[in-house]
Amino acid sequence: MQSDREPTAFERQVYAATSQIPKGRVSTYAWIGRAIGCGSARAIGQALRRNPYAPTVPCHRVIRSDGTLGGFNGQTEGEELERKVRLLTEEGVRLVAGRLADPQQRWPLASDA
């Protein structure tokens, strides 16, 4: 890997927010982005992709705002994605055709806003 240094403050925020996602619940890149004060979901994905805390940070609980899974382990498709679907399904997340079945499964971090 090209990055063996410590995570930046931004990555820390992303990992923290992602790690706060309860089981059976999912969050979105944009959601976390606004939670840490970011306006770009791509930046979140980048941080998650680097994710040095793979098992610590449930990046598989982070999906797109469309309800799509987005990507996993740097892959937007493939067996890695299949693994993500499997994990979410076993955690209690209703997925249909590899996508979020119920929008209520999203983590209501800011259900008010």
Partner DNA sequence: ACCGAGGTATCGG
Partner DNA sequence: CCGATACCTCGGT
Of these, 24, 52, 53, 64, which contacts DNA (CB under 7 A)? 64
Question: How near is the Cβ of 25 to DNA at its closest, in Å?
Answer: 15
Judged by CB under 7 A, the chain residues 24 through 63 that form the site for DNA are: 28-30, 38-49, 51, 59-60, 62
The structure tokens listed for 26 are 């999912």
* C-alpha span between 34 and 38 (Å, rounded): 5
**Annotated active-site residue in 59, 62, 69, 81:** 59
Is 59 an annotated catalytic residue? yes
How many CA atoms within 13 Å lie on the side-chain side of 51? Answer: 23
Question: How near is the Cβ of 92 to DNA at its closest, in Å?
Answer: 19
